[in-house]
Structure 1
Amino acid sequence: MNNNSSYTIEEVSQLLKISKLTVYDLIKKEELVAFRVGRQMRVDQQDLERYKSKNRTGIVQEDNYFSAENKVSQNNNKQVVISGQDVVLDMLSKYIEKHTSLTPLRSYNGSLNSLVSMYNGECDIVSVHLYDGDTGEYNLPYVKRLLVSQPFILINLVCRNAGIYVKQGNPLNIKGWSDLAQSQITIVNREKGSGARVLLDEQLRIHGISADSLRGYENDLTSHFSVASAVASGQADAGVGIENVAKMVNVDFIPLIKEQYDLVILKTKENLQLLKVIKEAVSSKEYRSQLEQLNGYDLSVTGKIIFES
């Protein structure tokens, strides 16, 4: 923890012993005051103490900092939490910040964990890439199960090439999912709740491979970049991820599936403006031209409504 007069979101979560998503939710509900420094949100020490005091006594003492001007500013800038890890979401966040009065906040959770957070009211926009081995379909089976009681809209953002990272030259001649079970191959995995972990687990189930037979299955990391970096540095022979990251880390990539990367937004009165903003963003020339600069992405169905309940 630092000795400054303000704290990062992570530091606030540690001090209050709550998750970072809960901190974002408190900020979104205007129960905790935050300010932006570049892309980072911070909370003043005095505002954190005010929040703690309010929840101990139910009384908030007025001070000069919490002025009428600050109150108006907060009320006019609705904050929206966007959960997911792909760079296309960072680009979307910048578009929203540039073209609307909304204030986007980023949460870097995996697909399943993001959906659970949305179910708990902690996220406004969630990205998903969850493969269902029984139907061969992406996302909708999972979203329907988790948001069974809530109306939602599923919009495609991009499609991406997913597959296996291997060392340059592919010295172990890895060609597909079944090769990962070879005794001489060590993999590095993604964390539970991530789309890449779901993809691997479903492919193992389809091919009749036990997870216990994969050397390194229990070694997990929290991003495509860290998985590719582990392969590049020789810590592992292979890992599951997306093509775009392979170009950054100098590993070879074996494309095995084109995955659907969709956005989930709840259909509520409060989200009417948000839904309009997202539809406009994904159809805009400005945002799409940025997406076209990325490797391994397909925009052929970008903006398509996959499902609406």
Structure 2
Amino acid sequence: YPVTMSSGSIYGIAFSDGFVELSEELDIVEENTTVPFYAFTERARSRGLTIIGSNDPLLEYMLVKTGLVYKSRLLNTGSTGGWTAVARGEADIAPTHLLDEETGLYNKPFLDKYGLRGRALLIRGYDRLIGFIVKPGNPKGIKGFEDFFRGDVRIVNRTRGSGVRVYIDINLKKIALDRSIPIDRVNALISGYTYEVKTHTAVAHAVKTEKADVGVAVGYVAELYGLDFIPLTWEEYDFLIPRSRMDKLEVREFIEKLRDLRVSEFKFAKYYRVPANIGSPRD
């Protein structure tokens, strides 16, 4: 897995074991392709905790604040990638905020959809506020997802499989159905739909550098980049853990630190809220 952190982050190196060498003619590397790997040390550092899934600034803050960052491998694959990694036995913890279109619930319905009922637990995390990231003063007058279909608006999208991307696509699908637009035409009608980035900070950076007029991300990054934020919804950000890993020392430590999380100490705490049952299995 490639390691991706917040844009401009200098501590991403702490999560890395080394680097791979790719030919400059390559545009993409298919899964399971063998490539040359060069470790930073003679023996790649052993990581006690493998976290694969959704990207979140508060999670990164917690790992650094508690020192767990030095025991962890953090891989931002999006929520869907986290569920797949747990199902394949690759992840100790998978951060997730997947919205189920049929029930309107976060995360829980996917235990059955991924065949993980009884094999994995959802540990309650926290809520975070996501919304539109726009330029100061909102010069394009963005008010809702309907504006994504305007010819004068270019968006920055999240990668397929991420929880935010799922949320975006659900809302765009509703509008397309209301307007009798074929679903397979949506990507052609929305400028920037195929412009995908992996992290929340990358969304803000795209808007800041005028590569896009709007994107969806956690409110924290709008303030970080001096942009405007239009709230949309509170997401439920939880942690999927295989039952077979629940007794692992580093997993137990992670859950303990999660229960002790003091969001008020985070500079951008207003974009997060902590439920009373944080760190407990979801019913």
Give the TM bin, normalised by the shorter chain: 0.7 to 0.9
Q: Give the Å deviation of 1:109.
A: 1.9
1:193 — aligned with what? 161
Distance 1:149 1:14 in 2: 39
1:229 — aligned with what? 205
Instruction: Report the TM-score, using the length of structure 2 for normalisation.
Output: 0.76
2:191 — aligned with what? 215
2:13 — aligned with what? none
Q: Note closer, same or farther for the CA distance 1:14–1:139 as it changes in structure 2 (3 Å cut).
A: farther
Match for 2:99 among 118, 127, 131?
131
Distance 1:245 1:269 in 2: 33
Encode CA deviations 1:135-166: one digit per residue, 9 max, x unaligned: 11111122431243652221222211111111
Q: CA RMSD in A?
A: 3.3
Distance 2:107 2:221 in 1: 22
Q: Give the Å deviation of 1:90.
A: 2.2
State the SS of the aligned residue for 1:135. Answer: coil
Match for 2:48 among 40, 65, 79?
79
Distance 2:281 2:170 in 1: 22
Q: Do structure 1's residue 104 and structure 2's residue 79 form an aligned pair?
A: no
Q: How many residues align?
A: 252
State the SS of the aligned residue for 1:180. Answer: helix
Distance 2:81 2:275 in 1: 27
Contact 2:130–2:232 (Cα < 8 Å) also in 1? yes
Contact 2:204–2:222 (Cα < 8 Å) also in 1? yes
Q: Do structure 1's residue 11 and structure 2's residue 34 form an aligned pair?
A: no
Contact 1:224–1:245 (Cα < 8 Å) also in 2? yes
Q: Note closer, same or farther for the CA distance 1:13–1:129 as it changes in structure 2 (3 Å cut).
A: farther
In structure 2, give the amino acid aligned to 1:146: Y
Q: Note closer, same or farther for the CA distance 1:250–1:151 as it changes in structure 2 (3 Å cut).
A: same
State the SS of the aligned residue for 1:307. Answer: coil
Contact 2:96–2:237 (Cα < 8 Å) also in 1? yes
State the SS of the aligned residue for 2:241. Answer: strand
Distance 2:66 2:30 in 1: 28
Distance 1:292 1:242 in 2: 14
Contact 2:263–2:272 (Cα < 8 Å) also in 1? no
Match for 2:269 among 269, 272, 294?
294
> Percent of aligned positions with the same letter in both sequences?
28
Contact 2:258–2:279 (Cα < 8 Å) also in 1? no
1:53 — aligned with what? none
Contact 1:150–1:266 (Cα < 8 Å) also in 2? no
Contact 1:165–1:239 (Cα < 8 Å) also in 2? yes
- The within-5 A match list for 1:63-78 is none
Choose 1 or 2 for highest CA Rg: 1
Contact 1:161–1:243 (Cα < 8 Å) also in 2? yes
- The within-5 A match list for 1:1-309 is 9=17, 11-12=19-20, 42-44=40-42, 47=43, 79-83=48-52, 84-94=54-64, 97=67, 103-148=71-116, 150-208=118-176, 210=183, 211-212=186-187, 213-268=189-244, 271-284=247-260, 287-291=262-266, 294-301=269-276, 303=278, 305=280, 307=282
Distance 2:245 2:221 in 1: 37
Q: Give the Å deviation of 1:97.
A: 3.9
Q: Note closer, same or farther for the CA distance 1:137–1:160 as it changes in structure 2 (3 Å cut).
A: same
Contact 2:256–2:279 (Cα < 8 Å) also in 1? no
Instruction: Report the TM-score, using the length of structure 1 for normalisation.
Output: 0.70
Contact 1:96–1:277 (Cα < 8 Å) also in 2? no
Distance 2:98 2:21 in 1: 28
Q: Give the Å deviation of 1:110.
A: 1.0
Q: Which has the higher contact order (CA 8 A, sep 6+)?
A: 2
